[in-house]
Chain A
Amino acid sequence: MKKKIIAVTPKKMKKPLLKKISRINLEGQIRLLTRDLNVIKRQLKRGVSREKLSKEKFRGEVTQGVNREKLGADREKQGADRERLGADREKQGANREKLGAGRERLAEEQFRLQTDEIELKDGQLREGADREKLAEEQIHIRTKAMEATFDGIFIIDALKPDFPIIYANPSFYHLTGFTKNEVIGKNYFLLYGVVDNLHALEEIKQALLQGRSFQGELLNSKKNGEKFWSLLRITLVRDKNGTVTHYVGNKTDTTLMKQRNLEIEEQREELLHVTRVGKLAEFVSSLAHEISQPLTAILSYAQAAQRMLKDREPQLQEVLQYIINDDQRAAEVIRRLRYLLKKSKPTFELLDINTLIKDTITLMMPHITAKNKVIKFESGSNLPSIQGDRIQLQQVLLNLISNSLEAMESSNDSRELVISTCLKDAGTIMVKVKDSGCGIPEENKLKLFGHFFTSKPDGLGMGLSISRSIVEAHGGRLEAENNPDRGATFYFTVPVYMKKGQ
């Protein structure tokens, strides 16, 4: 239609027609806007939510569309009404003033509406920003907490096929010695290899595949190869649908705890050992008493019989003498056993180890000379004092010296026994008893310090085990090894006396 008009009277027709159309348009638009405005006003008054508002608005627009169509239809009608409209021009000119005023009012309303809307949006934005800030703060705190904890924490992406580590906290790096580059993106299992914990790693894999969490203690290697014990707990993170999206690993270094437990266990063992020796001493004591009674009776009967026979029956006399000799040998064994297990509370005093050894050598000298052996004492100079029980430590030395003498007994060319003292470190004195005897056979090395182990025909197998108990009660160690050339060396340590607070 427009084309036709333009083709007939392009210049004549254009201006008044456009004027007419624009006026009609304006009127229509004003009507529509006013309606919209009223709708919006009502909605605002009711305090309807923004979504509802826009819905209404949409509905309004639909209405507007319908109205526009109506407007199109009206235009046809308006074309026909052109003449009438021309007559009404004056009247409309007057109305234009009114329209102008109406337009102003509308603009005002629109402005007010827009301001309201801006304020509403502004409020929402502020609220959103606050919420965002709060969420940010919480994330910040949680991240900080994760970074501050002593436990090594790592997160594995469970949705990727190779289960890469996507996060690890500083403690994890500190604990394992690996750097961020070496950890992020790597598979946890590859990181630790399968050497140390083949079984445990399999267990973890199974647990995760079955959707269970895992908890266990593993021996891990740090990057530098250093071993450490860790308590590993892996928990599962699921999304709304229950799908496992992440694994969170929590690694606690338990090396110190384990070490402490081990120390406690060792101390307990030591105590048990001392108690066992104590109990053994009690047992041996009562056993010795019970055996001594019949030995007394046997000896007395045999001696009585000897006297009864006087000078008669020399063969019988001889037999009786054998009985007496063996009775006395049995009694001697019991006496030695008692001596070794002598249960006296250790009395600790300050001792000079060199003086103690010299005294002990003096005690043993007749014995040593009788066996045609030589003893040498190489005393370390300026050794600090030790704290210990003189009798008990002498017992240890006596035992080691007798053992050495017996080891050298069979051979005439092994004669030299060397005792030496030295400072092993600032807090420890070491005493060595070195012989040139037969040495310790390989198969006896482990049993050497056990109860009732002996390589001697009339030995009790108590000497070394008691000696070790005594040395350990003094806070030292008693060990033995064969010399490179010949014989063996028994050596024990005793801690240097420390003043309190040192």
Chain B
Amino acid sequence: MSANIYIVDDDESVCRALKTLLMTYDFEVKTFNSAQGFFDNVAHDAPGCLLLDIHMPGTDGWEVQRKILASGSTRPVIFISAEKKDNASVRALQVGAVGFLQKPVNGQTLVDMINGASKN
């Protein structure tokens, strides 16, 4: 059975493209344009890796990760963002994420990170 991937990004095109790409790697992919959509539709203990955009209107990526941790979930999270500011890669690890990838994301790099996260 294939692994679940959740994508939260306010840019619909990015969601669809990443979904298309990841499906070629046989992932089950669900996309959400806001954090609220994700929380409303995915149980905190449902298995699967989360690709999380940092810069979003409303609840941003950092806030989503805080809520996930607060809910007691152990879901692996990979931050993706166009900007690499505020020491994003270091901060991502500090808040318990698997890693940080800068957009545009290379498909193979992303898949390697997802696979690495799923193994642990």
* Residues of A near any B CB (own CB < 8 A): 285, 288-289, 292-301, 303-304, 307-308, 327-328, 331, 335, 338
Asked if B21 is at the interface of the complex by the 8 Å CB criterion, the answer is yes
Known A289-B55, A292-B103, A307-B24; contact A300-B11, beta-carbon cutoff 8 A: no
Interface status of B20 (Cβ within 8 A of chain A): yes
Nearest-Cβ distance from residue B52 to partner chain A, whole angstroms: 14
Give the segment of B39-47, B64-72, B104-112 that binds chain A.
Answer: B104-112
- Tell me if A304 and B20 are in contact (CB < 8 A): yes
**Contact between chains at B83 and A289 (CB < 8 Å):** yes
**B82 within 8 Å of A by Cβ?**
yes
Question: Of B11, B17, B84, which one neighbours A301 at CB under 8 angstroms?
Answer: B17
Mark contacts of B9-46 with chain A using CB atoms, 8 A cut-off: 1 yes-contact digit, 0 otherwise.
00101101110110111000000000000000000000
Measured CB to CB, the nearest residue on chain A to B102 is A335
Partner of A292, one of B17, B20, B82, B107: B82
Number of interface residues of B (CB under 8 A): 22
Once the chains are docked, how many angstroms separate the CA of A331 from the CA of B83? 11
Residues of A within 8 A of B24 (CB): 304, 307-308
- State the main secondary structure of chain A at its contact with B: helix
B20 engages A301 (CB within 8 Å): yes
- Residue of A288, A294, A303, A308 ringed by the most chain B CB atoms within 10 A: A303
Query: Which residue on chain B has the smallest CB distance to residue A324?
Result: B106
Residues in A neighbouring B104, C-beta threshold 8 A = 292, 295-296, 298-300, 327-328, 331
30 A-B residue pairs with CB within 8 Å: A285-B83, A288-B82, A288-B83, A289-B55, A289-B82, A292-B82, A292-B103, A293-B14, A294-B13, A295-B103, A296-B103, A297-B14, A298-B17, A299-B17, A299-B105, A299-B106, A299-B107, A300-B17, A300-B18, A300-B20, A300-B105, A301-B21, A303-B21, A303-B106, A304-B23, A304-B107, A307-B24, A307-B25, A308-B24, A338-B83
Given contacts A304-B20, A307-B21, contact A296 B82 (CB under 8 A): yes
Q: With A and B bound together, what is the CA distance between A308 and B24 in angstroms?
A: 7
Contact B25 A296 (CB under 8 A): no
Tell me the bound Cα distance from A285 to B86 in angstroms.
Answer: 13
Give complex CA distance A338, B82 in Å: 11
Of all chain B residues, which has the CB nearest A295?
B104
CA distance A296 to B107 in the complex (A): 10
Q: How far is the CB of B12 from chain A (nearest CB, A)?
A: 9
